[in-house]
Each structure stands twice: as structure tokens, then as C-alpha cells.
Chains A and B, each alone.
Chain A
Amino acid sequence: MSVAFFILVVLTLAGAVTAMSLRRLVHCALALAASLAGLAALYLELGAQFVGLAQILVYVGAVAILIVFAILLTGSTEEDSPRGFGPSHSPAAGVAIGAAVFAVLAWAICVHAAASPAALPAKPAAPVQQIGDALMGRFVLPLEVIALLLTAALIGAVILAMEEKHGAL
């Protein structure tokens, strides 16, 4: 429990809450990018360098940009005016469900942790060479499945977003 941990936690959680509560969508995307960057730093803090850097590449680099593109392409820079925020549109129900889920999870974590003694293992090392060997050896089948999935997602995304031509298909 170092000072860095608390700073990163505050960055991550504040970014997540901001991303979910601001009204302007571009601000939400920015807060999401900050939260994901904090998460990547948490992975580095945990000693998982490869996952942390992959997180920066994939999430902060690609997914955040993709979300900004979607916001700009749909022209929805702002959620509709709070005119619709009547009793049936109030976010209170969603927030209450979120709080309840967090309460249950936190209760489970605290109860279980109180029962188990704290015997911390030494910091494990995960060099990139070891990860590559594992990917090419024990995990080669999931790797191929992921490759297939990414290809299918690429083609599917292009087809879905393609302009519909009347008479075609």
C-alpha cells in the first residue's frame, strides 16, 4: 500500500465516476481515457508490464479514439436536455443498483479477507520472453481463436458501418 497506489486509485476512480456523470460526451471520453491510463499504471504497479503496456496501446490508444470517432460521427456531443429527467428518467435507480452491488462486493471481500492471514508472496516476474513462450506453447489454441475473433470483428464492424445501398444485398 504505497503512496503511488493511492494516487493511481484516486485517478482511476475519479476518472470512472466523471466519465459516467458528465453531460458532454467528449468530456466523458476524456475522463474515460484518464481512468484507463490510471488502470494501466496500476497494472505496472502490480508488476504486469506487458498487460499495462497492452492496456495503454489498446484502450488509451485505440478504444478511446474509437469512442471519440463514434461521438463525432453521430453528432451527439451532448445528451439530450434534462427535459426527460422526470421520475421515470431519473438516474437514481441505476445509481442505487450500482451502490448495492458495490456494498455486496465490498462486504464479501472484507469478510473473506478477515478470515485469511496476510502472507504476501514475493513479487513475481513476468518477462516478455516468458509470456511469448507461453503464448506459443500452452496458450496457442486460445491465441488462434482470438486471431479468428479479431478478424471476424474487423469484417463485421466494416460491414455494419458500411453505407446501405438500396437494391444491394
Chain B
Amino acid sequence: MNPLEGYLLVSAFLFAAGLAGALSRRSAILVLVGIELMLNAANLNFVAFWRYGPHPEALTGIMFAIFSIAVAAAEAAVGLALIIAIYRHSNTTDVNQLDSMKG
């Protein structure tokens, strides 16, 4: 098994774990954690393809990973603020009980 394959398999497992968690956990915070894990799996792919790809001197993979980290940070901040606002409104973070759009 060459190293790129190893990194891609790790990334695939990370993505699958995040997806399973985001689909099956009931706390909205843990759903967000699952989404973060999936984003990180994508970042690992970017860096691994940069490392073993044909043109590493172009730095595209690294740049994409850096911008992706910045976007993920913004997403986490807004997502957690939303969760706090929802908690203040309906007093729960259980996604099974958050089933109405209009308070």
C-alpha cells in the first residue's frame, strides 16, 4: 500500500465516522462536531494530494486547506451561536424535539 492510499483511507474513515455521528446523534452540538470531522477529512485529502501530487511547488493543496480551515472556523462560530439562540428560544438542543419552524 503506498502512502497516499493510507492517507486517503484514513480520511475516508474520518469522513464516515463524522457522517455516522452527524446522522445519529441527538444533541445539536454533536451534530456540529460530526460536520467538523467531515470538513477535517476533506482537509486531510487536500494536503495528502498536495504532498503526493504532480505539482507540489504550486502550493494549491496547502492554500485550499488553509482557506477551508478559515471557512470551517466561521461555520463553527455561526453554528454554535445558532445553537445557543435556539436553546434560549426552546430550551433544548435535542434535534428530535426541534421540529417546528415557528416557535
Interface residues of A (CB under 8 A from B): 1, 5, 9, 12-13, 16-17, 19-21, 25, 28-29, 32, 35-36, 39, 42-43, 46-48, 50-51, 54-55, 58-59, 62-63, 66-67, 69-71, 73-74, 76, 79-80, 84, 89, 91-95, 97-99, 101-102, 105-106, 109-110, 113, 118, 120-121, 123-124, 126, 130-131, 134-135, 139, 142, 146, 149-150, 152-154, 156-158, 160-161, 164
Of the four ranges (under 10, 10 to 19, 20 to 34, 35 or more), the interface on chain B belongs to 35 or more
Main secondary structure of the interface of B (DSSP, over half): helix
B69 near A79: Cβ-Cβ < 8 Å: no
A63 near B12: Cβ-Cβ < 8 Å: no
Q: Which residues of A contact B10 (CB under 8 A)?
A: 9, 12-13, 42
Partner of A156, one of B48, B69, B78: B78
Q: Closest Cβ of chain A: how far from B89's Cβ, in Å?
A: 8
A146 near B24: Cβ-Cβ < 8 Å: no
Q: Which residues of B contact A102 (CB under 8 A)?
A: 12-13, 15-16
Name A114's closest neighbour in chain B (CB-CB).
B5
6 residue pairs A–B, Cβ–Cβ below 8 Å: A1-B6, A89-B96, A102-B15, A106-B12, A121-B53, A150-B73
Would A20 and B33 be within 8 Å (CB), given that A9-B10, A120-B3 are in contact? yes
Partner of B78, one of A106, A139, A160: A160
